[in-house]
Amino acid sequence: MKHNGVASDNGVVRDNGVVRDNVTRPSAGGETVVLAGGVGAARMLRAMQLHDPTRRVTAIVNTGDDAVVNGLFISPDVDTVIYTLAGAIDPTRGWGLSGESWTTMASLAHYAKVRPAGSAAPNDWFNLGDRDLATHLYRTARLAEGATASAVASELAQAWKLACRIVPMSDDRVATQVVLADDASVDGRVVYRAGETITFQEYFVRLKHAVAIRSVDFVGASHAHANCLVELQNAEQIVIAPSNPLVSIAPIRALRGVDEVLAARRDVVVAVSPIIGGAALKGPADRMLRELGHEATALGVARIYASVCGTFVIDVADAALASDIEQLGVRCVVTNTIMSSDDAARQLAEVTLSAGRSAASTAARTATTGTAARAASAGTAARAAKSGS
Ligand code: FO1
């Protein structure tokens, strides 16, 4: 069978080892569910597909970063995951499309001069590339005609011929907001005051996350319907991707019911540390951890996940933290977690998934042994009752 000029078998299109068909998926074993933020998660998902293109994977993606920019609905983490799995991401920026042009942004900047004070139109600090605009135009139009965020993500994933199921964490609006600890300036002018609450993209993009924060809130999370409870309940394995635990994974965990299901399924949950040697590979996770009172180490992240994760994967650079992590009741696996090449990415996926599998089978054995022990002791009790002793 031929599909878009790429040879395929059984309806599954392979391109550089990545299965590229969102409709026809082989069913090899159970489902792996990945809790995902942006760049780190996208790379982890790609690693998993490189490692095993037949694996059934569902990505539950953070939407707390979503924003309306120039009237367009932007879902940055969903698009970063889709573009990465499609091999279309700009590898340097980690967001947006490769080979992008910026003509529309340059033309929009022309109107910045006449914008009245207080108006956000046109926003000239959140950069939307010309090709990327098509995604936002499509999403905005579909949402306006009543489609859910999940339906739109699925359509986009299908258009990009992804095998991985892409599910926004909720179809309801949840907005990540931060409270600033200090005044924040842009071009030498104070634009926000300490104590002010601003949107995640104002913090992340407009301020380039170069200001301390006091707290984070996920507005709407307690009422939003989680799109992943059934998936988490049925998953063979659950992976928490190496994403920011405080603003990428926390919004998913803040949805009603998610932490309870994760805690109940803790044995099959494997998290990969986004912190290596006390620093984040990309983004402000290390600083945010410190600012919000956590330790900016793999151990600090393990503490945040300990109640919902049975296995924690850390980098070889942090091997010395393994015993402290195990003290938390979390199994610790040490490996190279930097996905600096396809081989390194494949190896991380293999280690993560096999750690999850062995944790799951140990849990199953313990449950079976427990059942057998309970049956044996029930039998003993029954015999004891019968003999009158
Ligand atoms: N990140 C930036 O640092 N600057 C931008 O101008 C920017 C634009 C942008 C447009 C579309 C999109 O999907 C993502 C974009 N991002 C940009 C990345 C994104 O805002 C953040 O990386 C995530 O929200 C954090 O996960």
Residue 158, SS3?
Answer: helix
Q: Which residues contact 263 (CB under 8 A, 6 or more apart)?
A: 307, 308
pLDDT, position 9: 29
Cβ–Cβ < 8 Å for 307, 328: no
Which two structure tokens, joined as six digits, stand for 95?
Answer: 């967001």
CA of 12 to the centre of ligand 1 (A): 31
Q: How far apart are CA 104 and CA 48, in angstroms?
A: 36
Cβ–Cβ < 8 Å for 108, 124: yes
pLDDT, position 370: 54
CA of 387 to the centre of ligand 1 (A): 73
Does the beta carbon of 127 sit less than 6 angstroms from any atom of ligand 1? yes
**Which pTM does this prediction carry?**
0.87
CA of 264 to the centre of ligand 1 (A): 34
Does the beta carbon of 66 sit less than 6 angstroms from any atom of ligand 1? no
DSSP 347-378: HHHHHHHHHHHHHHHHHHHHHHHHHHHHHHHH
Does the beta carbon of 79 sit less than 6 angstroms from any atom of ligand 1? yes
Q: How far apart are CA 77 and CA 58, in angstroms?
A: 14
DSSP 257-290: THHHHHHHTGGGEEEE-SEETTEESSSSHHHHHH
pLDDT, position 1: 27
| HSE-CB for 257 with a 13 A CA cutoff | 13
Per-residue pLDDT of the chain (389 residues; tens, 9 = 90+): 223 222 332 222 333 333 333 333 444 468 999 999 999 999 999 999 999 999 999 999 999 999 999 999 999 999 999 999 999 999 999 999 999 999 999 998 888 889 888 887 777 899 999 999 999 999 999 999 999 999 999 999 999 999 999 999 999 999 999 999 999 999 999 999 999 999 999 999 999 999 999 999 999 999 999 999 999 999 999 999 999 999 999 999 999 999 999 999 999 999 999 999 999 999 999 999 999 999 999 999 999 999 999 999 999 999 999 999 999 999 999 999 999 999 999 999 999 999 978 777 776 676 666 545 444 444 433 333 333 33
pLDDT, position 161: 97
DSSP 314-339: EEGGGGGGHHHHHHTT-EEEEE----
